[in-house]
Amino acid sequence: MHGPAGIENAAARLKAHGVTHWSLDLMYAYPGHTLERFDASLERALALEPPHLSAYAYTPEPGTPMGRR
């Protein structure tokens, strides 16, 4: 698990070392998630200028702890 500061730190290190092929993945539509929170996450992610950014909808899988909840 990591928070926004850890992601920003990792992106800065990648850029500082000349890594040009990296990406960020965002999750949305998980329990308790809001459009406002997604907007804030998206803005923060775009500010890091990733070469690639993906967004995936939360899908609880049967048989997993999250799926059982």
Q: What is the CATH number of the domain that holds 59?
A: 3.30.750.200
> Are 50 and 23 contacting, i.e. CB atoms less than 8 angstroms apart?
yes
21-45 pLDDT, tens per residue? 999 999 999 889 999 999 999 999 9
pTM of the model: 0.79
Q: Which two tokens stand for residue 32?
A: 């308790």
- pLDDT reported for residue 65: 84
* Domain containing residue 18: 4-68
Question: Which is higher by pLDDT, 17 or 3?
Answer: 17
Domains in the chain, number: 1
DSSP string, the chain: ---HHHHHHHHHHHHHTT----EEEEEES-TT--HHHHHHHHHHHHHT--SEEEEEE--PPTTSHHHH-
